[in-house]
Amino acid sequence: MSVNRFPWLTDAISTHQNILFPSSSIIEGELGLAKKELAKYFAQKLLCNDDLAPCGVCNSCHYFLAGSHPDYCFLERDSCSSVLHTYSKAKKDDLNSKKIEGVRALNEFMTMTNSVSEKRVGLVLDAHLMNINAQNALLKTLEELPANKHILLVSNQRKYFLPTIYSRSSLISIKNPETSDLDQWISDQGYIDYSSLNFAPDSTPLEIEHLINNDLADQYMNISQNLNSYCLGDTTTPDLMKFYKEINLSFDEKINSIILFLKTCIGINQNFYKTHPLITSLENITFDPRQASDLIEELVDYKFQLNKVPSLNEQIGLNNFFYKIKNLFT
């Protein structure tokens, strides 16, 4: 997949176009910003034998695009490159970016002599899932990486890793595009019936694309409209309960939707987000963001309890939280 489809990556690509690429790099940003595609682009660029890398036509690029480059490997949340199986006696299920066994296999791979390219590259995708043992194992390799060996970590969380990993790595931070740029991108993909207003603030481009392609694009609008109407007093508690009973979401996802609504309200109240046409209940009322934050914490704790005790009654739980939400808007 060409990185040209993701214009918000342009700055990161141009910054690393004609300079000596660092041995260790961290690509951070929200889920849905094509960071994996950027990491693969950099990997192909580093392995390419042409000065105008990535050329796409040299032997190295052919190997890479075929998924069989001997100087390239990756770890992700549930799997890894097949080549890493030869560097570990651990179970295949343990060779991933979450566990130390996967990192140890990658470390061993990085010590090997290059086969096709002048460089060797390893990617750790979903690196925000690495446990502390895996991070410490990786750190030892980062401390000794030669100039022709490169490791790229891709994380959906910012400031997740050990400080010593950051100190040995170059940070590439990917930000969500501005609203106008996001709207243009949505239109360029052919989704002419949608804009950023159809989705939650700070929704990332690939999240939006996923929702549209899976016929879930109207979900945020429907939930926001119903909660907003409830806060205005135009919808009764039984009506809202009926709506939530009928929507195709798990109980956990329903709680998430309430949390998202409250976070959006806080963001609008604090001028962090622009006003949203779906949320008019904040107009002409005194809204206490601290009480809303306390309610979000209560909802998060309830989710934790829900995971421990799945049999918690959905109707009683939702009714309790709807009552508390209503009090925020009176």
The answer as to whether 38 is a domain residue is yes
- Domain check: are 32 and 163 in the same one? yes
How many domains does the chain contain in total? 2
Kindly report, residue by residue over 146-158, the tens digit of the pLDDT. Answer: 889 999 999 999 9
Q: pLDDT tens for residues 42-87?
A: 999 999 988 777 998 999 999 999 999 999 999 999 999 999 999 8
- Asked, for residue 29, whether it belongs to a domain, the answer is yes
Amino acid 128: pLDDT: 95
User: For 284-324, how does the pLDDT look when each residue is reduced to its tens digit (9 = 90+)?
Assistant: 788 899 999 999 999 999 888 877 776 667 888 899 999 99
Residue at 193 is within a domain: no
Residue 129's pLDDT band (boundaries 50, 70, 90)? very high
**Residue 154: inside a domain, yes or no?**
yes
Co-location of 163 and 255 in the same domain: no
Q: What is the CATH number of the domain that holds 153?
A: 3.40.50.300
Residue 222: inside a domain: yes
3-state SS of the chain is CCHHHCHHHHHHHHHCCCCCCCCEEEEECCCCCCHHHHHHHHHHHHHCCCCCCCCCCCHHHHHHHCCCCCCEEEEECCEECHHHHHHCCCCHHHCCCCCHHHHHHHHHHHHCCCCCCCCEEEEECCHHHCCHHHHHHHHHHHCCCCCCEEEEEEECCCCCCCHHHHHCCEEEECCCCCHHHHHHHHHHCCCCCCCHHHCCCCCCHHHHHHHHHCCCCCHHHHHHHHHHHHHHCCCCHHHHHHHHHHCCCCHHHHHHHHHHHHHHHHHHHCCCCCCCCCCCCCCCCCCCHHHHHHHHHHHHHHHHHHHHCCCCCHHHHHHHHHHHHHHHCC
Q: What is the CATH number of the domain that holds 258?
A: 1.20.272
Q: Are residues 19 and 138 in the same domain?
A: yes
Domain match, 264 and 160 both: no
Average pLDDT of the residues of the chain: 92
Which pLDDT score is estimated for 105? 95
For residue 7, the model assigns a pLDDT of 96
Percent of the residues in the chain that have a pLDDT greater than 90, as a whole number? 73
Task: Clarify whether residues 159 and 238 are in a common domain.
Answer: no
Given this model, what pLDDT does residue 19 score?
Answer: 61
Residue range(s) defining the domain that contains residue 54 = 3-173
Summarize pLDDT for 213-259 with one digit per residue, the tens: 998 888 899 999 999 999 999 999 999 999 999 998 888 899 999 99
Q: Quick check: is 151 in a domain? A: yes
Band of pLDDT at residue 1, cut at 50, 70 and 90: low
